[in-house]
Amino acid sequence: MHSMKLNPSPFERIKNGSKKVEIRLFDEKRQKLKVNELIQFTNLENPKEKIIVEILNLKNFPNFHELLLNTPMGKFGYPQNHDIQEFLKSLYSIYTKTQEETYGVLAIEVKLLD
């Protein structure tokens, strides 16, 4: 099983079933992911709180903008009209453009397990 940490907001959106796609860099750790494997997400602000998801699909993109243009906002637990520029700004507060250019990015489609 793979382990990853999540900020409280995306953690809650996966937990409540509204978020179906997690975005990550396609770095060495994420290159090991395979469909049907499990990920345990830990809430960064409450490390005792964990959820387990199954990987349904993996899609690579050269950058965050392409990923967002090709994935409905509802998959991230946001309204369809959620502003892409605001979403990009939040992603670039976590990742640098250099990291994005070095690794590319990955859309991880997940299903929450009971």
Sorted by sequence, the CB contacts under 8 Å of residue 89 that are 6+ apart come out as none
* Residue that is written with structure tokens 């994420």 in the block: 30
The string of pLDDT tens digits covering residues 52-109 is 999 999 999 999 999 999 999 999 999 999 999 999 999 999 999 999 999 999 999 9
The count of other CB atoms within 10 Å of the CB of residue 102 is: 11
State mean pLDDT over 32-47: 98
pLDDT band for 13, please (50, 70, 90 cuts): very high
pLDDT band for 114, please (50, 70, 90 cuts): confident
Q: Is the pLDDT of residue 31 over 90?
A: yes
Judge: domain 2-112, CATH 3.40.50.2000: no
Sorted by sequence, the CB contacts under 8 Å of residue 38 that are 6+ apart come out as 1, 2, 52, 53, 54, 55, 113
pLDDT band for 11, please (50, 70, 90 cuts): very high
